[in-house]
Each structure stands twice: as structure tokens, then as C-alpha cells.
Amino acid sequence: MVTAQRQESSQSGRFDIENVSVSYGSEKALQGVSFCIEPRRVTALIGPSGCGKSTLLRCFNRMNDAIDNVEVEGLIALNGEDINAKAVDAVSLRMYVGQVFQRPNPFPLSIYDNVAFGPRTQGVRKRDELDEIVIDSLKKAALYEEVKNSMKKHAFELSGGQQQRLCIARALATRPGVLLMDEPCSALDPISTGMIEETVQQLKEIMTIVMVTHNMQQAARISDTTAFLLRESIEEPAELIEICDTNTMFTQPSDIRTENYITGRFG
């Protein structure tokens, strides 16, 4: 099982994507995407609105399964295993491939219970074990010092930036090997954004991170690899135009369309 392969090796958290296409009914949204997501690195997905970034991101933990009339073709292998195989349980997959969304979405529970939610569903019941997981996850999300004396506080009482870091902690509590982030800073102020970016830089030491962002500066600051997707017309599906080391992408892109997007000539 995918979830059995945690982080025993440096290759845990590796995705191999081969000829992946996604259709919504008769409309093909994404076509022929092939690349590798290296483990323990930050990979940024960039491109104009509607170019399939979030659609592709949802493929990595099968969140597209929850959308009616969606068909995913091609191979997506995580740690060498096809995540769309019938033997792979989608719920278990999502424990290993956590996700943080564009807007903070804490559960209507206390800070503690938000973070403990995932481990409890995994069968953890002992209070001391839960305490250890909650504290460790909050520390990794750079939130512990701010909430350590108010664990019973309702999550909705936190600021927007704190709520987003709580959502990161909640995702980390299931001990994932991969963290997907769909524009996690778009609704946050610059200080909160900086704290999340610092957290991401620390987390990549222990897991793979894939982030959708419209912020070119953010992609340049925190990602190791950048992938540029583009839908050239409404009649055509989006495609992967270029993927490479982030520094190369932002200084010497190989495709003129990438250069035009990065320099703000369109998008």
C-alpha cells in the first residue's frame, strides 16, 4: 500500500506522472502531462487562471474522485505504486498525501481537536500519544508558541494566518509523506505569508511539497522546481509547457511562452 511507505527512504514521496489527461465530461481540461516530482523538494505549479494547476494537484490525492463526471487517464505513481489502482484506498492515500487549501478551513472544534482529528481516525486513543502528535505538528507548523496555553480555544477565534497554520498542523498530524498546497497564502497578509513560506522551507526536509501559486515571487523564493502549465485557447486543453529547476525557469526559460508569462506579458 502507498501509505505503508512512509519516510524510511530518501525516495519516499516521489511522484512519477506519465501522460496524464483529465476530462470534465466531454471537455478535456488537461492533456498529456508527464514529469517527475522529486522527493523532499518544493515543486511549484504556475500558470494563468484556468490552466489546470488545481486540477492537476487534485490528481495527486484523488480529490477529483469527489467531482462528478471527471475522468483521469494516464499513470500517477507514488513511491512506485499506481495511486488509481483498485487496491489503493483513497482515504488512506489522503492521509499520506495531505492537502492545505486556498482559504483556511479549520473544523468547528478546538485547536487541539482540529490537530488530533486525523490521528483519532487512524486509531490513536491514548492521551499522551495524542498530546505528543498535536504538539509536534503545531511546532512544525510554527504555531505552537502562539497557542500552547490555549489549546481548548475554538479554532475560529484564531486569525486567518493562524487558521492556515492550524490547517497545516492538522495535515501534518497524520504523518504524511507529501503535502499539497493550493495557493495557501492568497488570502493572507504579508507577515502570515512569510511565516507559511518559512514553514514550507523547513517541512521540505522531511516531506515532498507541491504548491500551486499565482505569485511569481513566491515561486522563485521557496520552490526548488517549477512547472509551467498553459491553456492557449478555450477550445484546447491545458498542457505542461516546461518544467525545470526554479532558478533556470526564472532566468533562462527554454520556451518563449514561459518567458512571456513570467515577465508579465500575459496571464
Q: Is-contact 66 225, C-beta < 8 A? A: no
Please check whether residue 115 lies inside any domain of the structure.
no
Query: Domain range for residue 14?
Result: 2-106+177-262
Could you give the CA distance from residue 78 to residue 167 in angstroms, rounded to a whole number? 23
Please check whether residue 172 lies inside any domain of the structure.
no
pLDDT, residue 234, reads 85
Please check whether residue 122 lies inside any domain of the structure.
no
Report which residue type is found at 115. Answer: V
Please check whether residue 209 lies inside any domain of the structure.
yes
Which residue is listed with cell 513560506? 197
Could you give the CA distance from residue 242 to residue 258 in angstroms, rounded to a whole number? 7
pLDDT, residue 259, reads 94
Please check whether residue 139 lies inside any domain of the structure.
no
Please check whether residue 199 lies inside any domain of the structure.
yes
CATH of the domain at 66: 3.40.50.300
Please check whether residue 70 lies inside any domain of the structure.
yes
- How crowded is residue 98: how many other Cβ atoms within 10 Å of its Cβ? 24
Please check whether residue 54 lies inside any domain of the structure.
yes
Count of domains observed in the chain: 1
Could you give the CA distance from residue 137 to residue 170 in angstroms, rounded to a whole number? 7
Q: List the chain pLDDT tens, one digit each, 267 residues.
A: 454 444 455 568 999 999 999 999 989 999 999 999 999 999 999 999 889 999 999 999 999 998 889 999 999 999 999 999 999 999 999 999 999 999 999 999 999 999 999 999 999 999 999 999 999 999 999 999 999 999 999 999 999 999 999 999 999 999 999 999 999 998 888 998 999 999 999 999 999 999 999 999 999 999 999 999 999 888 899 999 999 999 999 999 999 999 999 988 765
